[in-house]
Amino acid sequence: AQSVTQLGSHVSVSEGALVLLRCNYSSSVPPYLFWYVQYPNQGLQLLLKYTTGATLVKGINGFEAEFKKSETSFHLTKPSAHMSDAAEYFCAVTTRRSALIFGKGTTLSVSS
Amino acid sequence: EAGVTQFPSHSVIEKGQTVTLRCDPISGHDNLYWYRRVMGKEIKFLLHFVKESKQDESGMPNNRFLAERTGGTYSTLKVQPAELEDSGVYFCASSQVGPTEYYYGYTFGSGTRLTVV
């Protein structure tokens, strides 16, 4: 069985500051890992995903995440936050033939 | 291409009533999934269709929930009778069938916010 833990339900940063959203997973088999973002009144949008290959994954809007097997982590980062990054972010895990398992989400606030 | 469409976007019903949610996947996407997020909790899987067949319905909470996918196109999720704990946001997602489950990725709809009062 898989599970996801997102550390921190709310993260606040200043515009221009580093964004770090933490995600730890549990999986008995090699995982596929995802980050999704939900802006107000919109659906879930895929930011990036890791399936196999390079462990540093680049996504849309300047976000990236690094798969660290030894730490069972897949933290999401962005060097410089923009006001438009304010949203809720979800980490998710799955394997070859199973449904997505989501974390509880982290709301990112960006102040000017 | 049109995205995944869900309607209604919002629904407020009284306890004991029936509500039907609809999802129109992207044309050609044989995989269709329903997920639900109860307030303050994680998004949870409900079920998975491949074309018109239920591939996995292990996440359906109880027999008050009935999902159908007519002709492998749109899908409906009926809640009858609705209870207070059914309130939440119901998401639908679709994907093409590929060599692995997530080869082509999911596309999510905007969700239906259901409030049972």
3-state DSSP call for residue A4?
strand
pLDDT of residue B16: 97
Handedness of CA A44, A107, A62, A25 (dihedral sign): negative
Distance from CA of B37 to the nearest CA of A (A): 9
pLDDT in tens, B59-90: 999 999 999 998 889 999 999 999 999 999 99
Per-residue confidence at B39, pLDDT binned at 50, 70, 90? Answer: confident
> Are B67 and B34 a contacting pair, CB within 8 Å?
yes
Query: How confident is the prediction along chain A (112 residues), in pLDDT tens digits per residue?
Result: 788 999 999 999 999 999 999 999 998 888 889 999 999 878 899 999 998 888 999 999 999 999 999 999 999 999 999 999 999 999 999 876 678 899 999 999 999 9
Q: How far is CA A39 from CA A13, A44, B81, in A?
A: 17, 8, 31
Whether residues A43 and B106 touch (CB distance < 8 A) is answered with: no
* Residues contacting residue A68 through CB under 8 Å, at least 6 positions apart: A55, A74
Contact at 8 Å (CB) between B47 and B67? yes
A contact residues 46-85, partner B, Cβ 8 Å cutoff:
46, 49, 51
